[in-house]
Amino acid sequence: MQDAEGQKQKKKKSAYHVDETLLNGELGINESFAVMDNQLLADYTAQKIARFGTDLSPVELY
């Protein structure tokens, strides 16, 4: 995209942008959990449990 002066505009990052270097296609896993600090991981887990907690079995929560 370009603005009126012909300069390129920066694209806004999507909220769901995934760092491709953290995806392991060979194993089919996302390694982003390995680089999260403890507080971020706890917040992420709490957010997902609050959103999907009623649909998850005890095994999936563990």
Question: Could you read off the pLDDT of 6-56 as tens digits, one per residue?
Answer: 666 776 666 666 677 787 888 878 777 788 889 988 898 888 888 887 777
Higher pLDDT, 50 or 1: 50
pTM over cut 0.75: no
Give the pairing type, strands 23-24 and 29-30.
antiparallel
Q: Identify whether the C-beta of residue 30 lies closer than 8 Å to the C-beta of residue 23.
A: yes
**Residue 28 Ramachandran class (φ > 0 left, ψ -120 to 50 alpha, else beta):** left
**Residue 59 confidence (pLDDT) above 80:** no
Is a pLDDT exceeding 70 seen at residue 1? no
| Core vs surface per residue 51-60: b (16+ CB within 10 A) or e | eeeeeeeeee
